[in-house]
Copies of this chain bind each other. A is one copy, B any other.
Amino acid sequence: MQATPVARLTAFGNLDEDDYKVLAKMGGTGRKFAPNEFLQREGSDFRRIWLLMTGFTASSVNRANGRRRLLRIHLSGDLVGLPSLALITAASSIVALSPVVAIPIKISVLTEVFESYPRLAAMIFLVSQEERVALMDRLISVGGLSIVERVANLLLHIHARILCSDPLAGEAFYLPLTQGDVADLVGCTPVHANRAIQHLRSTGLVSWNRQDVELLDRPALVKLAGYIPRIVERDSSWLPVNR
């Protein structure tokens, strides 16, 4: 297992040797997915989780009007499919937005983690809490901001996530999303997403050509979007120790 995919876990504290040992068990062979291919289908009762290695994926649901709604974007290092563990059928699909590599993980590994690696279990638990906060932030965004503000918010969020796994990345990043994808993410029509993007371009806040995005004026974007950086609590003293 490379360093990158565990970045979300190590944000909360250091992993010990045993943790890495059980994580290594997760590291099987990755499966490849093409854009718009599904890792999981909404309504399916087949229970499996994935560890994302590379690429962009999103949780998706189908809408009455035929379009889809993208609820949450997932990047490398994310463990996806956990929410549907609680239900008899999957609440959302998981769809690849770019070429993706993901490792399927057996649920039994999760059993072992909870039974024998309480520290690791608690850290996975914390990542899930972080996801809850992220969903709440998206709810604030969708319910209270204009489309231009939501797009700015989305870009800042993705940029922060990329910085998390690659602290040396600058203001520019690769974004393999169509404007239709952006529309599905911020909850509007492709036409309107296009207008919002052009507004960000014309005001000089963002450069966005094909799949290359650069945040030209991040402070202004932060102000525009009312963006609140979420800083994770590292070395939480309450974390249990492994036996």
Residues of chain A at the chain B interface (Cβ within 8 Å): 12, 47, 59, 61, 63-64, 69, 71-72, 82-89, 91-92, 107-108, 110-112, 114-115, 118-119, 121-122, 124-133, 135-140, 142-144, 187, 226, 230-233, 236, 238-241, 243
Give the dominant DSSP class at A's interface: helix
Q: How far is the CA of A59 from the CA of B135 in the complex (A)?
A: 12
Is B144 a contact of A83 with CB atoms below 8 Å?
A: no
Residues of B within 8 A of A107 (CB): 238
Residues of B within 8 A of A119 (CB): 114
Name the distance in Å between A64's Cβ and chain B's nearest Cβ: 6
Name the distance in Å between A188's Cβ and chain B's nearest Cβ: 9
Q: A87 and B231 in contact (CB under 8 A), knowing A64-B226, A240-B114?
A: yes
Can you list 15 A-B contacts with CB-CB less than 8 angstroms, sorted by A residue number? A61-B140, A69-B143, A69-B144, A82-B132, A83-B132, A84-B129, A85-B233, A110-B122, A115-B240, A115-B243, A124-B125, A125-B125, A125-B128, A138-B139, A142-B142
Name the distance in Å between A149's Cβ and chain B's nearest Cβ: 10
Is B187 a contact of A86 with CB atoms below 8 Å?
A: no
Is A136 a contact of B187 with CB atoms below 8 Å?
A: no
Q: How far is the CA of A124 from the CA of B114 in the complex (A)?
A: 12
